[in-house]
Amino acid sequence: MSHSIKIAIIEDHQGIIDGYKFRLQKAEEIEIIDVAMNGEELNALLATHLEIDILIMDINVPVSTQNKNFFPILQLVPKIIEEHPNTRVLIISMLSELNLIKELVDAGISGYVVKDDVESIRALSSILRKINRGELYFSESIKGKLQDFVNQFGLTNRQLEILSVCAAYPDLTSEQVAEMIDIASSSLRTTLSAIYSRLNVRSKAAAIFKAKDLGLIP
C-alpha cells in the first residue's frame, strides 16, 4: 500500500473544517490526522505529530480558547518550515494582501488559496497531491499578484536565463547545461546555488517548480 498523505488542519471555524473533511473524504490516500483550532492546540499538534506531510493553515486563529487575540501565525510559519523540513504548508485564508503573501512565499510556503476561490476549494484533494509531489499551488488571483513582484527574490536576468534553460532541458546534466550556455561548470554550480538560496529551495527541480509557479520563468 502506498504512503498516505497525512494532513493536519489549523482553522478556527468548525464549518470550514467540516467542509475540508467533506472535500477530502473520498480521497482514500489522504488522511486527516489532527485538527487545531487555536495557537495553543497548534503547538501541541506540532509537538505530537512528527509525520505531517501537509499543514492546511488559516492565518487568523486565536491564541487559545480563552484568549481570542490572533495567534502570530505569520511569525511561526518560517519556524515550522525550518523545524519540520518534510512538512509542507498550504495557507487557505480570506486575506490577499500582496505584502503578506510575499512574506509567506519568502518563508517557503507551498501554496496559498483564498477562501473565496471556489474552484480551488473544490479541487482541494488534487491540490494536496500536487503539493505532496513538491509542486506549488496558488489561486489564480494570487498568481497575478505574485507576478507584480517578479524581482522580489533578487534574481538577476542572467540567473533567470540560466534557470529557463534548465527548465527547457530538464534531462541535461549541469555539465551539459554549462556547455550549452558556454560557461564553466563551476560557474553554473555557483549560479544555481545562488538561485536556490534566493528561492529558498534545495534542488534544481524545486527551483524550476517554484520559479514557474511564481511566473518568474515560462
Grid cell, residue 157, equals 536576468
Grid cell, residue 18, equals 467540516
The CATH number of the domain holding residue 191 is 1.10.10.10
Domain contains 38: yes
Domain contains 47: yes
What range does the domain containing 191 cover?
A: 154-213
Percent of the chain whose predicted confidence (pLDDT) is above 70: 95
Which of 115, 148, 181 represents a domain boundary (last residue)? 148
Asked if 138 and 164 sit in the same domain, the reply is: no
Asked if 161 and 133 sit in the same domain, the reply is: no
Rounded mean pLDDT of the chain?
Answer: 89
The CATH number of the domain holding residue 45 is 3.40.50.2300
Asked if 128 and 197 sit in the same domain, the reply is: no
Asked if 165 and 91 sit in the same domain, the reply is: no
Which of 95, 120, 148 represents a domain boundary (last residue)? 148
**For residues 24-50, average pLDDT:** 94
Structure confidence by residue, pLDDT tens digits, 132-187: 998 889 998 887 767 655 556 777 778 888 998 999 888 889 899 999 888 888 88
How many domains, in total, are found in the chain? Answer: 2
Asked if 17 and 62 sit in the same domain, the reply is: yes
Asked if 131 and 162 sit in the same domain, the reply is: no
With cut-offs at 50, 70 and 90, classify the pLDDT of residue 1.
very low
Q: What pLDDT score was predicted for residue 11?
A: 97
Residue 49 clears pLDDT 80, i.e. is over it: yes
For the chain, the three-class secondary structure string (H helix, E strand, C coil) is: CCCCEEEEEECCCHHHHHHHHHHHCCCCCEEEEEEECCHHHHHHHHHHCCCCCEEEECCCCECCCCCCCECCHHHHHHHHHHHCCCCEEEEEECCCCHHHHHHHHHHCCCEEEECCCHHHHHCHHHHHHHHHCCCCEECHHHHHHHHHHHHHHCCCHHHHHHHHHHHHCCCCCHHHHHHHCCCCHHHHHHHHHHHHHHHCCCCHHHHHHHHHHCCCCC
Asked if 65 and 115 sit in the same domain, the reply is: yes
Structure confidence by residue, pLDDT tens digits, 78-124: 889 888 988 999 999 999 887 788 788 878 899 999 999 999 999 99
Which of 133, 148, 163 represents a domain boundary (last residue)? 148
Least confident of 48-52, 62-66, 111-115, 209-213: 209-213
Asked if 141 and 158 sit in the same domain, the reply is: no
Residue 53 clears pLDDT 80, i.e. is over it: yes
Asked if 158 and 82 sit in the same domain, the reply is: no
Asked if 84 and 183 sit in the same domain, the reply is: no
pTM of the model: 0.71
The maximal CA–CA distance of the chain, rounded, in angstroms, is 63
Q: What pLDDT score was predicted for residue 98?
A: 78
Domain contains 196: yes
Asked if 120 and 187 sit in the same domain, the reply is: no
Domain contains 181: yes
* Residue 137: strand pairing partners: 111
Q: What pLDDT score was predicted for residue 2?
A: 60
Domain contains 125: yes
Domain contains 218: no
Asked if 165 and 74 sit in the same domain, the reply is: no
Q: What pLDDT score was predicted for residue 76?
A: 87
